[in-house]
Amino acid sequence: MNYPKVLTIQDISCVGQCSLTAALPILSATGAETCILPSAVLSTHTGGFKGYTFRDLTEDMPAIAAHWQKEGILFDAIYTGYLGSIRQISIVQDIFAKLRKDGAMTFVDPAMADNGVLYSIFDMDYVNAMKPLCFGADVILPNLTEACLLTDTPYRETYDEAYIQEILDKMTSAGAKVIILTGVTYKPETTGVIVSENGQVRYYEHKRIERGCHGTGDVYASAFVGAYLRGFSAFDAAKLAADYTVQCIENTLGDDSHWYGVKFETALPMLIESLRK
């Protein structure tokens, strides 16, 4: 697929280097024609800013999709990030059914929890609504917290390979095809990503940076989707995306004024060069 047309569905945080403001430039840098469907518009993201504006675009989404369908616009891949409501999940499911070319790929980043906690805007009704979207996708990209919620598994701070395998088995049994499980940590000084595909489980371990940065999940998922659509295997795309995300964080360390995201733009040359290998 030399020039895929990718639709990404998530919110726009106008300032904050996350969601669509990260996905659009990163996917474009990988060589994909990147189309967007905003689910909401915020002046900033919600992670530390106060008094931000918020406009819900749920009611606009079906009309936009209907116009595309009328124009015969179809996509080679659809990638979803943060969705703000159960209603939006339903709209995305309809888009998956109607706006994909034959053989088009679907990628779902659940984007609903982290560090053992569900985001405050969501509840278990939302989690249950997200399950069919995730398990029906070609590729699912949960972090460990999201994987636990999707499989009704108690979250643990410390665990072993058997615990992770149990979660992978539950997701596979539920219908998951390719699983990219991020934030899997067996040793204090490292973390990594698990790739489960066709019964094979592989682990890519990389440096762990203690500083938590907003938007790194969006950076990672976007880089993965772009690399995968360039023909990289799931494991190689997961590895490339992890290395890129680590570089984005490292490029941000030492700048205390840049607390709201990572300087992913400064690492785009590295991403582009990695895609040539």
- Answer yes or no: is pLDDT of 1 > 60: no
Partners of 129 in the β-ladder: none
Q: What is the pLDDT of residues 101-139, one digit of tens each?
A: 999 999 999 999 999 999 988 999 999 999 999 999 999
Q: In angstroms, rounded to a whole number, what is the distance separating the alpha carbons of residues 123 and 141?
A: 20
d(CA 220, CA 267): 12
pLDDT tens, 218-267?
Answer: 999 999 999 999 999 999 999 999 999 999 999 999 999 999 999 999 99
Q: What DSSP state is assigned to residue 158?
A: S
Residue 39's pLDDT band, with cuts at 50, 70 and 90, is very high
Would you state the structure tokens that stand for residue 169, as one six-digit string?
Answer: 């088995």
What value, to the nearest 5°, has the Cα angle with vertex 213 and ends 207 and 219? 80
pLDDT at position 250, please?
A: 95
What are 10-22's pLDDT values in tens digits?
999 999 999 999 9
pLDDT digits (tens, 9 = 90+) for 138-190: 999 999 999 999 999 999 999 999 999 999 999 999 999 999 999 999 998 89
> Which structural domains are found in the chain, ordered by start?
5-275 (3.40.1190.20)
Closest by Cα among 195, 241, 194, 243 to 219: 241
Q: Which residues lie across from 37 on neighbouring strands?
A: 9
Tell whether the model's pLDDT for residue 8 goes beyond 70. yes
What is the Cα–Cα distance from 33 to 39, expressed in whole angstroms? 19
Q: List alpha helices for 116-233, DSSP H.
A: 124-135, 144-150, 161-173, 216-229
Query: Using one digit for the tens of pLDDT, what is the confidence trace for 47-59?
Result: 889 999 999 999 9
Q: Which of 125, 164, 129 is nearest to 143 (CA)?
A: 164
Cα–Cα dist 210/226, whole Å: 27
**C-beta separation of 249 from 217 below 8 A:** no
Q: Quick one: which H or E segment has residue 191?
A: strand 190-197
